[in-house]
Amino acid sequence: MSEVKTELTEALQWVHEDWSEERIRRGRVALERASARQRRARRAGVASAAALAMAATVVAFAWPRSSGELAFSGFSPIGVSTTASSEDTPGALRFQDGSVAIPLGTDTAMATSRDEREHAELELLGGAARFDVVPRPSRAFEVQVGSVRVSVLGTRFDVRRQPRHVLVHVLRGRVRVQWLGGERVLTATQSGLFPLELPGGAGAEVEGASDAGTQPETTETTTADEFDLDFTLDPPDEFLEGSREEEGEPGADGEARGGPRRAAGDWRTLARAGRYDDAYEAARGVTVGDSMSELLLAADTARLTRHLPEAVGHLERALGLHPSDRRAHLAAFTLGRVLLQNGQPDRAARAFARAQQLDSTGVLREAALAREVQALARAGNRDAARRRARTYLAQYPSGRHANSVRAYADGP
């Protein structure tokens, strides 16, 4: 008897399945899609009920009555979301006010969860999309990507959902991005990479958020907009808190370290607050530390105050000292941009090539390759530009820079 029971117990223990990451990822996308559908249906139901009640009230008061007869006329629900696909762009979602969300790939999955006078909301469940939002202060426009929320302040911007992060790139205007670790406002030409989850608790695992130049580059060609992708050089404070201790950077125990370090802390504070001119002045005569965070911040301060050779120095030092740092590819990418701005396209091309090598996550690879093509062309190296352009088109046939790159690939 007990032997049978043991056999049975042992056999039943085999009733289980593997839940691979891929299965969970697919399930999550399906769940979020279903959840968005459910919310839409619920809102439509509420709106229909409200419309029904309103219509009933109107009819009850306004309809001419005859000898105790209460008549109902036909009515249509009002206030129901009428988001529909745009006619000109397949898969695009158009909002009542003319704002539009355009999918940037075949893997894009998005759903409108609210389209009202005061509030429009869309969920990006997978892939990437471009949002062209009609500015209207009285209406909030929000994009939810997992735990990351992008609030729009009248703008044009791209959002890409990656397995662990959300990439936001602002083309025009401003957006506010809120993630589990904090929030940040991005303005035109700025980009940020925000984590979908914080595995170690609040504020523990921010991969980075960007603060690129606040003004569009004036030295770019007419296709600059296509290439204008910039990345994290100013991680949020909570990230810096962690890295300070790791790297022995001044500021982790600033009270004990004394005068010159306090001065260095001042320029860092100013730089993080976006006051780069003040930060640059405060940093005069202060030795910049060797940590990656400090070098990147110093590079930002220098390049955004148009001290490009100094920025190049900081970035090259950062790459030399920290080639394995997880932000090394960002440093190389920015070095390429600065060199390009500084009229050194041949060196810029090498920096962009290095950014591709260092980018283990693949987040920047496409942009860096596109920039490399641009830099090679500007350096007069047409053969190399054509070769790299063809590589780009082979790897990213419908990439976001494909149209710009194609001009270089099609040359003689």
Terminal Cα distance for the chain, rounded: 85
Q: How far is the CB of 242 from other proteins (least distance, A)?
A: 17
Q: C-beta of 196: minimal distance to other proteins in Å?
A: 8
Say how many C-beta atoms besides its own lie within 10 A of residue 3's C-beta.
Answer: 7
Q: What is the 3-state secondary structure (H, E, C) of 30-86?
A: HHHHHHHHHHHHHHHHHHHHHHHHHHHHHHHHHCCCECCECCCCCCCCCCCCCCEEC
Burial class (CB in 10 A: 0-12, 13-18, 19+), 408: buried
State yes or no: residue 119 binds other proteins (CB under 8 A): no
Residues near 116 by beta carbon (within 8 Å), at least 6 away in sequence:
79, 81
Helix (H, G, I), strand (E, B) or coil at 359: coil
Q: Of the candidates 14, 68, 255, 256, which one interacts with other proteins according to CB under 8 A?
A: 14
The label of the residue with tokens 């301060």 reads: 301
Site string for other proteins, 24-63 (x = CB under 8 A): x--xx-xxx-xx--x-------------------------
391 binds other proteins (CB under 8 A): no
Amino acid of residue 206: V
Which residue lies nearer to other proteins by CB, 171 or 198?
198
* Span 288-327, contacts to other proteins by CB under 8 A: none
How would you class 398 by CB atoms within 10 Å of its CB: exposed for 0-12, middle for 13-18, buried for 19 or more? exposed
Residue 259: burial class (beta carbons within 10 Å; 0-12, 13-18, 19+): exposed
Of the two residues 125 and 296, which places its CB atom closer to other proteins in the complex? Answer: 125
**Using CB under 8 A, which residues numbered 237 to 276 contact other proteins?**
none
Interface region with other proteins, contact rule CB under 8 A, candidates 12-20, 86-94, 239-247, 288-296: 12-20
- Of residues 175 through 214, those in contact with other proteins by CB under 8 A are 196-199, 201-202
Question: DSSP readout, 239-286?
Answer: HHHHHHHHHT-TTTTHHHH-HHHHHHHHHHHHHHTT-HHHHHHHHTTP
| Long-range contacts formed by 54-57: CB under 8 A, 24+ apart | 54/78
Q: Least distance to other proteins from the beta carbon of 339, Å?
A: 40
Q: Is 394 in the site for other proteins (CB under 8 A)?
A: no
Taking CB under 8 A as the criterion, which residues in 123-182 touch other proteins?
146-147
Q: Least Å distance between CB 281 and other proteins? A: 42
Quick one: which segment of 16-24, 210-218, 265-273, 356-364 binds other proteins (CB under 8 A)?
Answer: 16-24
The verdict on 11 binding other proteins (CB under 8 A) reads: yes
Of 200, 196, 175, 178, nearest in space to 187 by CA: 175
| Residue 68 binds to other proteins (criterion: CB under 8 A) | no
Query: Shortest gap between Cβ of 231 and other proteins (angstroms)?
Result: 25
- The span of 11-19, 101-109, 151-159, 357-365 binding other proteins (CB under 8 A) equals 11-19
Q: Where along the sequence are the contacts to other proteins (CB under 8 A)?
A: 1, 4-5, 7-19, 23-24, 27-28, 30-32, 34-35, 38, 146-147, 196-199, 201-202
